[in-house]
Every structure is written in structure tokens, then in C-alpha cells.
Amino acid sequence: MRGAPASRIAGLGRHAPERRVENAELEAALGLEEGWIARRTGIRARRYAAPAEALTDIARPAAEQALAAAGVAREDVSLLLLATSTPDHLLPPSAPLLAHRLGLARAGGVDLAGACSGFLYALTLADGFVRTQGRPVLVVAANILSRRINPADRASAVLFADAAGAALLVPSKDAGGGLLGAHLTGDGAHYGQIQIPAGGSRRPYGPDVPPQDLLMAMPDGRAVFTLGVEMMTQSARHAMDEAGVTAGEITRFVPHQANTRIFEAVRKALGLAPETVVSTIAEFGNSSAATIPFSLAASAEVRPLACGEMVLMTAVGAGLTGGAVVWGAS
């Protein structure tokens, strides 16, 4: 097997379901005053999947776009990594089904449950596979979080949405591009800050389990805000140091779209220029791991990635899991 000096993103894709849910609908249902959601989160609308849509249904269009943009033969794709917290089923994993539906007959496939930082973990693993094996890897991040919303938990009910993003990585001879710096981190001391209390091996499904315990809970939103800013900022600094780049060299800052106030605080702490920020949160909300590839694809539609660009991506999510990547466009 032949390796490669680096990987490059050959194609990007994104998809959001058709149903658009504006803040007014949620504010009325939750008994919130008009404008409450936008002021606290920066979100004005989000997309919800149709009742008949499953995770692979919304992941497939994003993946198809990335494959088409890359122009890579499907039989050449060697691996599909699917970052999701909402698979089609708890068992089996959804990645093999998605690979089958995409016609990736020779590709391995596995799900990664990295919460909001899942795409960064998958991207880092994909880069390593491309470098060692010299074969293309498709990374897809997708979630249908609208089915995990607990209306009684306002802190999380107003945030979450459904979407998918994808990136196809291929071998590159340009050692100055691709993944230049990465820092993946976690803090299990805050494991319960964002959670679905029941349904796992700790509290299995059963007739005694209240329905709301199978839905999202975020008991301390302020703590999540503080921890999120700190973890995203520190991870980004480590990744930038590893890549040997300064804030002034970052051309696009693609943060996890958790909350406008969170990633603005991170941007300011890092000293990044306001014009570098890529944001889709106002229209599409927080779809966890999908937000970074979705936002990167949306940004590239307006202004394609140019050779030599430095892209900083950072995220934090349940677990707590977090990380940052500096990616050089080539």
C-alpha cells in the first residue's frame, strides 16, 4: 500500500431538510417572549426532518454533492466515516447502509459518536487513513436532533436542528496542505452537562423509564457556555501552534454553530478578524457535528477554497468532547 504526503478536500456537500421552523413557532410553544431565542443564541430559524426521513436520508444528498464535486470514482472510495448521534438504528451502524445507498461498493464504513465535535474527530482519522493508505475517504456528519428535543428543557429545545455536511478527502502531493494542526480533547468530569439520561446500558429502556428521560437535557446552560468557550479556545490555540500559524494567517474560522455568543467569544479570545467567521446558525441552527462541514460547504459555494488558505475549525460537545483543526487548502 502506498501512502501520501498529505490529504486534501476534493469535494464538499451539505443538505438541510425542507421544513423551516422559525423562532416564533417555538417561542409560542414554550411560552417565551418574542425575540428571546435570537437574543440568546443568534438563531432565527432551523430545519426539521420530515416524519418519514431518517438519518441516512438526509446524509445521502450531502454525500452525493461531495462525491460529485470531487469527481472521484465511487469504487475508489475506501472508507466512509459517519459522525452522528442519531443513527437510523442503535444497531446496526448506519455507515454501511449509507455507503451502500451511495454505491460505494468497496468502502468500509463506521459510525463515530463524537457529539458536536464528531466531524473534527472523523476528519482527523480520515486524514491519517489517506496519508497511510493513499486512498480517498468520505467523511459525513449528520443529525436529526429535532426528535431528541425535550420541550420542558428550554435551554436545549431552542437550539437543535437537523442537517448534514460532507467532505471527500483524497491523497495530495502538497505536504504544505491538508491537516496541518490538530488538537482533540475531552473532559469527562463534565460528562453529564449535555445528555440523554436513559436508553443506554446505564439506564436501559423499560416501562419504568419516563419518556422525557429519552430526550435531551442540559441542566446548566451557563456552565456549558463557559466550558465551551474555554475548550474551543484552548484547542484552537494548540492546533494553531502545531500548524505554526498566527491569527492573522487564518482566512476562515469555521466554528461549531452552538451559539453565536460562544463562537464570538472564542473569535475574540483568539484575536481572529470578524470577516473570517463562517456562520450559518441564524438560518439553520445547531445540528451538532454537522454544523462545521455544512458551514464550510456553504462558505465554499460563495467563495471556493483557494490554494494556500488556512481554515480553523473548532468545536465542543457532549461528553465533554472537543477539538480544533487547522486545515490548509491545496
In the three-class reduction of DSSP (H, G, I as helix; E, B as strand; rest coil), residue 46 is classed as strand
The one-letter amino acid at 12 = L
- Closest of 159, 143, 77, 151 to residue 111, by C-alpha: 143
Give me the active site residues, please: 116, 256, 286
In the three-class reduction of DSSP (H, G, I as helix; E, B as strand; rest coil), residue 178 is classed as strand
In angstroms, the CA 109 to CA 60 distance is 14
Q: What is the number of H-type helices and E-type strands within the chain? A: 10, 11
Read off the C-alpha cell for 214. 429519552
**Edge-to-edge, what's the strand order for the sheet holding 321-328?**
178-186, 321-328, 310-317, 252-255
Scanning the chain, the segments in alpha helix (DSSP H) are 23-30, 36-41, 55-70, 95-102, 118-133, 154-157, 221-243, 260-270, 281-284, 291-302
Q: Buried b / exposed e across 69-88, counting CB within 10 Å, b at 16+?
A: bbebeeeebbbbbbbbbbbb
Read off the C-alpha cell for 125. 482519522
Read off the C-alpha cell for 275. 470577516
Residue with cell 472564542: 266
Question: CA-CA distances (angstroms) from residue 227 to 166, 189, 191, 274, 319?
Answer: 27, 11, 12, 22, 12
